[in-house]
Structure 1
């Protein structure tokens, strides 16, 4: 079995709300193996996106430990976390998070340039063509449809060939046709690059494509389903 790339041990996340502290995640212990596809499902407010953010170092655990690729994320400062993510993680958000003043190719090339790739624009163009946007290289986000913007976001996430790919409701803002296309691209690119994929979704058909699905409720892991057990 491939070694674990992510481990959480008794991880907790407590945030300060207007009425006092709110326990968002409680006592989360789990491991994710290299190359695995893991789906996180559950009702709104169950902690799915927060758990994904902990795994990516985008939220800092207030208790327990979070380890990715052998690094203790809870021990890194913000600059070190940013450097670690840049070299090892790709993130796809529901709301795309493209830079509006940059063209498609500039959006994809930026993380490659930051990571020191001399051929950043050539790699960005190749990845955009891979997701079917060869004719949109010089278009700005406002000139593209939602499905096209999500393709740019996906290209940006996978272009640096990260070991870990995180996706938060990647089809949530898309219609059925575009959502299916993004699903196919997401899993196709994951397989092509050999990345570990962890995604949050409300779509049963997307969760069904994962090797393993964790069900969250009230900030805890409430259950687990294996695809092999269901087939």
Structure 2
């Protein structure tokens, strides 16, 4: 494999719970190639979302090393991590995480404005058109369906044209029809922008679309279920 876009080496994660420290991830080593689509699967509580958050610098590993685009994320402070995500990553959450007091257009334009883009609203409008929501640009999240909100979230993640696109159960809160539509849009955005895509999913059809699937079991990579998608 050429130099990986994401490289994890012996990553562990421990979090404090009511009964003391809980071991979430145990010595994860994993590389993701440029342009690859990687699906993370496994039962609830296996550490999939935690691993994705560590890849995005949204959660700090307890030990080990996390490299993204040649940067050691474990050595960056919170401000540096925020700037790195702004410049290089798009993140899509299951719960949409739209700003309720902003319109769809404003939600999509916000990361572009933060990055100093002079054409933030023009690019935001283009991304809304790409996900079929140009007619909803002036609507607020509460005025949109769950499927529409997730499409806005996809447009927001893709608008800065990130090198890395991370998606945590992007179809988890949607019915089958909307889930299928989001799946098509997610891979379409990846193809348009050439991003490396890592996604957490319970949806078999979505996992099958990935170049490679990694299964986590009890916070460890299950080598028997780490494969290239057929």
Query: For the superposition of Structure 1 and Structure 2, which TM-score range results when normalised by the shorter chain?
Result: over 0.9
The residue aligned with 1:99 is 99
What SS does the aligned partner of 1:110 have?
helix
How far does residue 2 in structure 1 lie from its aligned partner after superposition?
4.5
* 1:56 is aligned to 2:56: yes
Q: Which runs of 4+ in 1 moved over 4 A?
A: none
The residue aligned with 2:67 is 67
How far does residue 3 in structure 1 lie from its aligned partner after superposition?
2.9
* 1:119 is aligned to 2:119: yes
What SS does the aligned partner of 1:135 have?
helix
Q: Distance in 1 between matches of 2:139 and 2:128?
A: 12
Residues 135-175 of structure 1, C-alpha deviations (whole Å, 9 max, x = no match): 00000000000000000000000000000000000000000
What SS does the aligned partner of 2:138 have?
coil
Q: Distance in 2 between matches of 1:143 and 1:60?
A: 35
What SS does the aligned partner of 1:181 have?
helix
Q: Retained in 2: the 8 A contact 1:2–1:35?
A: no
The residue aligned with 1:77 is 77
209, 220, 227: which one aligns with 1:225: 227
What SS does the aligned partner of 2:222 have?
strand
Q: CA RMSD in A?
A: 0.7
Q: Distance in 1 between matches of 2:3 and 2:36?
A: 10
Q: Distance in 2 between matches of 1:19 and 1:216?
A: 24
How far does residue 225 in structure 1 lie from its aligned partner after superposition?
1.6
* 1:181 is aligned to 2:181: yes
Residue segments in structure 1 that go unaligned for 5+ positions in a row: none
The residue aligned with 1:216 is 216
The residue aligned with 2:142 is 142
Residues 84-114 of structure 1, C-alpha deviations (whole Å, 9 max, x = no match): 0000000000000000000000000000000
Q: Distance in 1 between matches of 2:58 and 2:189?
A: 23
How far does residue 50 in structure 1 lie from its aligned partner after superposition?
0.2
The residue aligned with 1:129 is 129
Give the TM-score, by structure 1 length: 0.98
Q: Distance in 2 between matches of 1:220 and 1:41?
A: 12
Q: Retained in 2: the 8 A contact 1:13–1:26?
A: yes
The residue aligned with 1:160 is 160
